Homo-oligomer: A and B are copies of this chain.
Amino acid sequence: MAEEKRMGKGRLEAFSDGVIAIIITIMVLEIKVQHGETLSALLPLYPVFLSYVLSFVHVGIYWNNHHHMFHAVTHVKGGVLWANMHLLFWLSLVPFTTGFMGENHFAPFPVALYGMNLLLCGVAYFILARQLLRHHGRESELARAIGRDRKGVVSVVLYAIAVAVSFIEPILSMAIYTIVAALWFIPDRRFEDRD
């Protein structure tokens, strides 16, 4: 009966996997097939391609973190479903902001918009984590896993700086986005070792 009161997390994970898989894959549709048959026909695509790589890594990080966080989750409530949908909403805009940035060769405003998008993903992830914590105890495995979410906060701060900086020097913003991505590569390992 208690079991019935609490919904499983399986379908939420499956739906999120589906949406994130589609997001990460349709971005490649922005790299439009060229009709020229030489290397020089492809070269103009490099900003679109670089943007794709950066976004692939970022969306990959979100899937990774989502996977880790829900691994420690034991049940979900309605608020969690909507907090998760909210995260998926901002993630779903990444293909657009990625294409907009690549198409305009890293011009200031598109680079800022891209950073805003990532920042809002970060905030949505934060809200989702809080929603989950509300239904799990302080001593839960989840609380221990999320509690030290310093990296999440640092990322959001770095995104905010990158947005501000983009109007002066968009290349610097791109460097910051890359640093945030790099940041997440390393501690994943540490996180798991602790477990």
Contact = CB atoms under 8 A, between A and B. Distances in A.
B22 A96 contact: no
Contact of A99 (B30, B33, B77, B100): B33
Identical copies in the complex? 4
A158 to B, nearest CB: 21
Given A15-B21, A78-B188, A37 B110 contact: yes
A15 B15 contact: no
Contacts of A37: 104, 107-110
A11 interface: yes
A46 interface: no
A96 B110 CA distance: 24
Interface string A92-110: 1101100110011001111
B11 A92 contact: no
Interface string A1-34: 0001101100111110111111111101111011
